[in-house]
Amino acid sequence: MTTLHIKNGHLIDPANGIDGLQDLFIADGKVLAVGAAPAGFVAGTTFDAAGLVVSPGLVDLSARLREPGYEYKATLESELQAALQGGVTSLVCPPDTDPVLDEPGLVEMLKYRAKTQDKAHVHPLGALTMGLKGQSLTEMAELTEAGCIGFAQAEEPIEDTTVLLRAMQYANTFGYTVWLRPQDPHIGRGGIAHSGPLASRLGLSGVPVMSETIALHTIFELMRASRARVHLCRISSAAGLELIRAAKAEGLPVTCDVGVHHVHLTDADIGFFDPNARVTPPFRSQRDRDAIRAGLFDGTVDAMCSDHTPVDDDEKLLPFGEASPGATGLELLLSLALKWADDYALAQPQAGARPLARAVAKVTADAARVAGIPAGSLAIGEAADICVFDPAARWTVSSSSLASQGKHTPFLGYELSGVVKATIVAGRVAFQR
Amino acid sequence: MSNLVNPSQLDAEALYRVLLEQVRSGLAGASNVAIVGIHSGGAWLAERLARDLDLTARLGVLDVSFYRDDFAQKGLHADVKPTKIAFDVAGATILLVDDVLYTGRTTRAAINELFDYGRPAKIMLAALVDRGERQLPVAADFVAAFTAVPPGQALVLKQAGDKFTLTIDTHHA
Amino acid sequence: MLNPQLNKHGELQHLLTIEGLPKSIVNHILDTASSFVGISDRDVKKVPLMRGKSVFNLFFENSTRTRTTFEIASKRLSADVINLNIQASSASKGESLLDTIDNLSAMHADMFVVRHAQSGAPYLIAKHLIDTKQPHVHVVNAGDGRHAHPTQGLLDMYTIRHYKKDFTNLTVAIVGDILHSRVARSDIHALTTLGVPEVRAIGPHTLLPGGLDQMGVRTFTNMDEGLKGVDVIIMLRLQNERMSGALLPSAQEYFKSYGLTPERLALAKPDAIVMHPGPMNRGVEIDSAVADGPQAVILPQVTFGIAVRMAVMSILAGNQG
């Protein structure tokens, strides 16, 4: 029986309401006890977490691993290593690989490859329609058996509303969650920046907010008709969040996430056409960014994810409109979540706002709940997937400090707080700094 | 070497009268004469000479900014004035006028520029003051006074109303 | 990030856009240009300012007119000119933009005149030159996507200054497809920088971008209203693609509401001038009677364009970064 004792750490486990100095005892890859050592416990390994935070391993609701098909951009090996260095122990990957994850065999292969890496747990999303083409349904039951935790269209909105309705009805038959990025199939499709005065000045084709809100209206109508559970991906606007708030109040079974970069950046961060700021959805106005921050605080936004999208130099160092959209994120998720805590949550007047615990919740327990996976909790008997980090230590985002093959993020060159000191997967110290 | 006048004792108005007489006798008998002044001091002098010699119809002004040999070091001057040559340079006897003759580089630039307008029959150089320190083999045909000025100091012609004055500036142009 | 157009001495290192340029630099360019105008009348239409320098015209978007005027301007400065017509498709098959720049820099290019279909492309080049520490190489934006066409903006200002002298009491109207126009954006920035109190944009809603008020512009969808009392009319070219993109039904209908006819011209001030960046679509945005009439200054714009480009290139060439 392998045992691990993490001592002297500040344990933050929002799923179980823990936020204080507590030791953690692990045996055979599972949490054995919290607080006091169980009788007869002998620590095979002891980890001194004095001055550090001990939390559940991060749960990332969107990370592109680029396998299968895009190995020239990144590989499972490099990206799962990046996950470990970012403290991420469970991640969800979208189905827009090559080939698309619409066949059980592909999903099995991916799960197998990920397992042999023995790093983070990989939970794939299956394609909602074959080839993501929006025409015929995928074998959702087979794909779920192969390991898919939900079904998505990635960046390919379904043009035929009837198909979307049928897909949602079919998914609901089995209780599967449909993960949808709300974007109109036509309005703003060629756009590369938020429709607004800045895009007008810079001469960049715009993606109007209504691309998101029109799609949200459609999705909510279809939800009322189909009763399907939907998770909305990468909300970008204040208006979109308003609609989601109302939908939740109405009782629709909907959750949503935001990309962690969008918690901090606006269209002004495009600066002088910096291709690192070319992302989808685009960074919107200050009002939208502020609504995202507030939405995280009041629960309208259920989780933050990295939306990790490795893009290589050849596809990024191009004029803004030609650059491939996307930013690297696995290794920034923790720091940017903590930055939200510092910049926003800390300033909220509510007594006991507990910004650190709130931030951790948004990338652990809340994210796990959305995905419906057993993660983000350090209750007794749960898998010992743990992140140990120093919230005060600072690091500089650079090509060399990033393990991912994706080296592009608007935060390149920035100094951020929050350094992962150790990542433990199933009780084994998989990464240590 | 001619007598050197103390630069602080240069009387610009008196020197102008000396230069005018030199030029008047030097141009006697010449045909197709024109006067071209180099901005800014030379241009003022040329204007006055043209009036006094009744040559206002054959007056031009040159800005040598585009022909300077220090473009690579100093870039384009902040204040480029237009060059105006209203007469035909080809075959003309041109009196080139500058206020202070120093290294000779401005004269060379002016000559290069004039040749881009046409082929003159003759160019003569008139300078109010020659301060020596030539860096090119250039000599003036008409000079009112010779002087020496310490390096780092500039001898500057100024015009107030209708009066010329010469002053010493310690700031380099 | 510091403005990549200016070097650490605050001098112009690249000309990428008029937006954000100090008024003093804009005026310096216009003043220098007036010295270059007279050169076309001389025997030797050259000055030796850029002798021995190599100017590479990098046109990723076709344009014989603009490329030709830059070539003439370069040659009048005694520079050597190399023309590279890189169609977008061959660029995507082969070298990346930055690889192309690196190769040309290795051939000792001194100046890149760049036209590209993507807004912001010249910034990528300028940033790359700064990152690779090449302060003696300069970039002139000859038009990037919808973003900017600074030399056109400057020559338009030169033209207005030539005919109207004082910017501070003018009303200027820009008419046409402002949404897609880099010329319009550069004109707007130049006009507001030089203190024009009223800048108007006239066009149908489908061709007017959002955010024009933030740029200091009054919008009009009624051309008759918009032209009342105007001193300067800048007509923009209407491209055929606009009809296929569901932005306009037809050229005929466009002309009916937004074409500059003699009747409409009469609504402006009697001494108003008519400008056009060219090439003109007669009968689409402008009536021939107006284009050939006494108020049009379209041909002088072309002449001034060479002098303005000479001014820009010589000022850049003299700044070492």
**Cβ distance of B75 and C315 shorter than 8 Å:** yes
Nearest CB to C98 within list A272, A273, A317:
A317
Q: Which residues, including other chains, have CB under 8 Å from residue B144's CB and lie 6 or more apart?
A: B15, B16, B18, B19, B22, B127, B128, B129
pLDDT by 10-residue block (mean), chain C, 321 residues: 81 94 95 90 88 94 90 96 74 74 89 95 93 93 96 98 97 96 96 97 95 92 97 93 81 94 97 96 95 96 96 92 57
**Contact state of C127 with A272 under an 8 Å Cβ cutoff:** yes
Judged against a pLDDT cut of 50, whether residue A359 lies above it is answered with yes
Q: What angle, rounded to 10 degrees, do the helices at C23-37 and C150-164 form? A: 70
Cα–Cα–Cα angle for C198, C261, C286, rounded to 5 degrees: 85
- Give the residue on C whose Cα is nearest the Cα of A204: C119
User: Residue A423 pLDDT more than 80?
Assistant: yes
3-state secondary structure of A18: strand
> DSSP letters along A109-145, please?
HHHHHHHHHTSSEEEEPEESBGGG-SSSB--HHHHHH
Rounded CA gap, A293 and A260, in Å? 10
CB atoms within 10 A of CB B21: 12
| Among C102, C155, C147, residue whose Cα is nearest residue C122 | C147
d(CA B46, CA B52) in angstroms, rounded, equals 10
Question: Which residues of chain B have a CB within 8 Å of the CB of C31?
Answer: 79-80
Q: What is the pLDDT of residue B162?
A: 87
How far apart are the CA of C148 and the nearest CA of chain A, in angstroms? 8
Spatial distance between the Cα atoms of C166 and C169, rounded to a whole number of angstroms = 7
Backbone angles phi, psi at B147, to 5 degrees: -150, 175
- pLDDT > 90 in chain A, percent: 93
pTM: 0.89
Q: Check contact A-B (3+ Cβ pairs < 8 Å).
A: no
CB C178 within 8 A of CB C219: no
Mean pLDDT over A206-214 rounds to 97
Is residue B10 exposed (0-12), middle (13-18) or buried (19+ Cβ within 10 Å)?
buried
Contact residues, chain C, for A274 at CB < 8 Å: 1
Do the Cβ atoms of B154 and B171 come closer than 8 Å?
Answer: yes
Which one from A23, A96, A257, A307 is the annotated catalytic residue?
A307
Residues 6+ apart with CB under 8 A from B21: none
Q: Tell me the Ramachandran region of residue A133: left when phi exceeds 0, alpha when psi lies from -120 to 50, beta otherwise.
A: alpha
Distance CA C190, CA C188 (A): 5
The C-alpha R_g of chain C, in whole angstroms, comes to 19
Position A322, amino acid:
E
Q: Name residue A232's amino acid.
A: L
Q: Omega of the bond prior to A99 within 30 degrees of 0, cis? A: yes
Tokens 């009624």 label which residue? C222
pLDDT, position C89 = 46
Torsion of Cα atoms, C99 then C104 then C108 then C110, to 10°: -100
Residue A307 appears among annotated catalytic residues: yes
Q: How many CB pairs under 8 A join A and C?
A: 74
Chains with ≥3 Cβ pairs under 8 A against C? A, B
**Closest partner CB to C35 (pick from B63, B90, B118):** B63
pLDDT at B23: 96
Which C residues, 52 through 81, put their C-beta within 8 Å of a C-beta on chain A? none
> CB distance from B81 to chain C under 8 Å?
yes
Asked if C211 lies within 8 A of A198 by C-beta distance, the reply is yes
Interface contact flag, A203 C145, Cβ < 8 Å: yes
- pLDDT tens readout for residues A293-329: 999 999 999 999 999 999 999 999 999 999 999 999 9
To the nearest whole percent, how much of chain B has pLDDT over 90?
76
CA distance A79 to A310: 9
Instruction: Quickly list H helices, chain C.
Output: 23-37, 64-76, 88-93, 97-106, 121-131, 150-164, 182-193, 223-227, 241-244, 251-258, 262-265, 288-291, 298-317
Q: Does C123 touch chain A (CB under 8 A)?
A: yes
Q: Give the pLDDT band of residue B11 (cuts 50, 70, 90).
A: very high
Contact C48 B66 (CB under 8 A): yes
Task: Say how far apart CA A307 and CA A325 lie, in whole Å.
Answer: 11
Whether residue A93 contacts residue A150, with contact meaning beta carbons closer than 8 Å, is answered with no
pLDDT at A264 over 70: yes
Judged by DSSP in three states, C263 sits in helix
- In chain C, what residues touch B63 (CB-CB under 8 Å)? 35
Can you tell me which residue has the tokens 């302060």? Answer: C135
CB within 8 Å of chain B, chain C residues 291-320: 314-315, 317-320
Starting at the edge strand that comes first in sequence, how are the strands of the sheet with A10-13 ordered? Answer: A18-21, A10-13, A53-56, A386-396, A415-425, A428-432
Q: Does C38 touch chain B (CB under 8 A)?
A: yes
Q: Nearest Cα to A309, choosing from A35, A104, A60, A25?
A: A60
Q: Is C119 exposed, middle or buried (0-12, 13-18, 19+ CB in 10 A)?
A: buried
Question: What residues of B are in contact with residue C37 (Cβ under 8 Å)?
Answer: 82
Q: Which residues contact A399 (CB under 8 A, 6 or more apart)?
A: A407, A412
Please give the Cα distance from C161 to C307 (Å, whole number). Answer: 14
Interchain contact, B117 vs C44, CB within 8 Å: yes
Tell me if chain A has a CB within 8 Å of the CB of C121: yes
pLDDT band at A175 (very low <50, low <70, confident <90, very high): very high
Chain position carrying tokens 């992962």: A420
| Gyration radius (Cα) of chain A, Å | 21
- Which residues, including other chains, have CB under 8 Å from residue A67's CB and lie 6 or more apart? A74, A75, A76, A97, A110, A113
H-run or E-run covering B18: helix B12-27
Q: Using CB atoms, pick whichever of A274, A314, A321 lies closest to residue C119.
A: A321
With a cut of 60, say whether residue B172 has pLDDT above it: no
- C-alpha–C-alpha distance, residues A135 and A137, integer Å: 7
What's the mean per-residue pLDDT of chain A? 95
Segment B3-14 shows an average pLDDT of: 89
- Nearest residue to C56 via CA among C122, C4, C2, C119: C122
Best B61, B67, B116 residue to mutate vs chain C (most C CBs within 10 Å): B116
Interface of C with A in 207-246 (CB under 8 A): 209-212, 214-215
Average of per-residue pLDDT across A243-248:
98
- Residue A356 CA to residue A342 CA, distance in Å, equals 8
Lowest-pLDDT choice from A170-179, A335-344, B19-28, B80-89? B80-89
Peptide bond into A281 cis (omega under 30): yes
With an 8 Å Cβ cutoff, are C47 and B66 in contact?
Answer: yes
Q: How far is A215 from chain C (nearest CA, A)?
A: 22
Tokens of C304: 């001034």
Q: How high is the pLDDT of residue B151? A: 84
